[in-house]
Amino acid sequence: MAEILRCNAASGAYDITIGKGVWEKFASFPGRKLLVRDGNVPNPGIEADGEIVLTPGEQYKTFAAVESICRRAAQLHLTRKDLFIALGGGVTGDLTGFASAIYMRGVRFIQIPTTLLAMVDASVGGKTAADLPEGKNLIGAFHQPEAVLIDPGFLKTLSFTDLTGGMAEVVKTAVILDRQLFDRLEAAGESSVLAPDFDSFYVELIKRCCQLKAQVVESDEKENGLRAILNYGHTFGHAVEQKSLFSIPHGAAVAIGMNAAGILAAELGMWSSSEAERQLELLKKLRLPVTVPAEFAPAELLEIMRSDKKNDSSGIRLVLPEKIGSAKTVSGIPEKMMLKAWELCHD
């Protein structure tokens, strides 16, 4: 039986449906349909009026890709009453959502995430975007989906590395919002990635992460306050992604970013060194990277952080943990402290 959650975002409520084969519900939505598919994901049997296949990879998360989606929709003569379907990971969902937000000033879209990272985080909340050479997600829109259809069966097609990348976002959620979830992950360790009860484990994991994110989105849809904590590890992590020319994938970069943020929080006395160590050991148990390559100069990473979209007049804004299960946004931290955090998480 499928699990159904409700996200009551201010600009539009929708269901998040989790279960085997739930992606087939796309057929019940009215309108003509454009399928936007990640090139790594075979079509499981979605029949649409048109299809566009995106080149996989963060380096292709560009406005040119958004334009290609919109042009395909125009070629099909789709209208505001029609529907875009995103089939793939976070990049596909972000690009499809952004295209649907601006095509004819807004059409509906459905998220069918196929990666753990997208299932537990990117597919929920209505953040859509493309990257610029100057930084990640600098152009985009808040545009909530019509529905999110999550079939954990797609996870069985993923590599161990892809699964652990998704687990980085689960750890993020646990550190900022749910101590019990952190304790559960800590107890299971690496075995949680390839759990013997794979289906039931991931359904519950995805359900909990979606519940928590939906609650945050409902209280602060457009990131004017609380929602910013969902960026934990991302300001540091985005710098790692960009410096690596996206050879380090998002989940791995966020894991490194959480370690850097955890080190900084401990240096500032915001949380204990023992809690920072617990976070570090959990990331290691899940076989996630926690250090940046030696050739990544701290000063260069800090320069990238200065272009982060979350910054304000006081400088770089960071999400830092207060304890496991709680975090807050902090501004005005001396840059020398950030440099020290980078230095402490180098190879």
Known catalytic residue: 213? Answer: yes
Q: Which of 152-166, 186-200, 229-243, 271-285 has the lowest mean pLDDT?
A: 186-200
Calpha distance 13→6 (Å, rounded): 7
In order of 16, 20, 151, 278, 316, the CA distances from 208 in angstroms are 12, 17, 15, 21, 30
Residue 223 scores a pLDDT above 60:
yes
CA nearest neighbour of 217 among 124, 128, 96, 118? 124
Give every CB contact of residue 71 below 8 A, 6+ residues apart in sequence. none
136, 122 in Cβ contact below 8 A?
no
CATH number of the domain located at residue range(s) 160-344 in this protein: 1.20.1090.10
Average pLDDT over residues 333-346: 94
Q: What is the DSSP letter of 56?
A: P
Closest CA to 22 of 96, 112, 136: 112
| The pLDDT of residue 346 | 86
Q: What is the pLDDT of residue 311?
A: 80
Can you give the pLDDT at residue 308? 84
Catalytic residue among 61, 172, 207, 238: 238
Paired residues of 3 in beta bridges: 18
Q: Which residue has the tokens 């080190």?
A: 263
Percent of residues, the chain, with pLDDT higher than 90: 89
Whether 40 sits among the annotated catalytic residues: the reply is: no
Q: Is 238 a catalytic residue?
A: yes
Neighbouring CB atoms inside 10 A of 63's CB total: 17
Q: Which residues pair with 113 in a beta bridge?
A: 88
Catalytic residue among 58, 169, 221, 275: 169
Q: With 70 as the cut, is the pLDDT of residue 196 above it? A: no
Q: How many CB atoms lie within 10 A of CB 280?
A: 17
Give the model's confidence band at 188: pLDDT under 50 very low, under 70 low, under 90 confident, else very high: confident
- Known catalytic membership, residue 223: yes
**103, HSE (Cβ side, Cα atoms, 13 Å):** 30
What percent of the chain is modeled with pLDDT above 70?
98
pLDDT for res 194: 65
For domain 3-154, the question of CATH label 3.40.50.1970 is answered with: yes
Whether 8 sits among the annotated catalytic residues: the reply is: no
Catalytic-residue membership of 250: yes
What is the average per-residue pLDDT within 87-115? 98
Q: What is the pLDDT of residues 7-46, one digit of tens each?
A: 999 999 999 999 999 999 999 999 999 999 999 999 999 9
Q: Hey, where are the domains in the chain?
A: 3-154, 160-344
Q: Is 346 a catalytic residue?
A: no
Cα–Cα distance, 231 to 128 (Å, whole number): 14
Query: Which position among 33, 213, 243, 310 bears the catalytic label?
Result: 213
